[in-house]
Amino acid sequence: MSLNPPLTDWHGKTVWLIGASTGIGRATASQLYALGATVVVSARKVAALESFVETHPGSCILPLDSTDQAAVRTACDAVFAQGQVDLVLYCAGYYSEQRATAFNLAEMLHHLDVNYVGALYLLDALLPQLLKQGHGHISLVSSVAGYRGLPQSLAYGPTKAALTNLAETLHNDLADSGIAVSVINPGFVETPLTAQNGFKMPALITPEQAATEIIASWKKGEFEIHFPKRFTRWMKLLRILPNSLYFQAVKRLKVA
């Protein structure tokens, strides 16, 4: 059952991707461009955005620090000043390993600012525009790390759990407004964020594979987009395990 209107034809559509300098965001922008969409890419790294435009002529760059509330509002106004916007993808993300035995408040708050508060800044600027427009699609990149607490994910996991909950509530609130909402929960994807992991990542996929999964799921009108399923289905089991079994299972994970 489709929970969102299927996105099947990207010709004439405008998409704005925040966090598109590398990884999933950049790969998704590239594939949407190839499918005929008008692509606007945002990130802090201007050189990376410029290199994207060099290989994707006609796309637009909009440098942006998603933790700057005023800058997010200005960027949103600039995008909508060019006309309707059909999909906005929040893909900005930050990850650094942390455990409670080495608690770092500054790191905790930085994760919160990039992974969650930045999405709130976007929604604050975006929702009035989409409600006025009467249609559009908001897609938030979360993670299976938000399903339940995992080792070394003290800072990262809670922000992703919050983002997934936010997307669920947004979907409920906006279901009758013409605005679609989806949440993306990847497993391990080969990106600069996961490159710091010192353990073998199961079912690791490329950003291009991730982008293909995302676009295929938008085409089906799915709300939760998770991949690769050979890994994420196991992660979903953690959500339904009783606490006693969940804690036993997590103890067996060796990621140090």
Longest dimension (CA), the chain: 55
Specify the residue for token string 């103890």: 251
Which range, 189-198, 213-222, 233-242, is most confident?
A: 213-222
Rounded distance, CA 183 to CA 171, Å?
A: 10
Residue type, 14: T
Q: What is the pTM of this model?
A: 0.93
pLDDT above 50 (res 256): no
Residues forming a β-bridge with 62: none
The two tokens of residue 46 are 């201007």
pLDDT above 90 (res 198): no
What would the pLDDT profile of 52-100 be if each residue is shown by its tens digit?
A: 999 999 999 999 999 999 999 999 999 999 999 999 999 999 999 999 9
Specify the residue for token string 């990542």: 201
Question: What are the structural domains of the chain?
Answer: 14-251 (3.40.50.720)
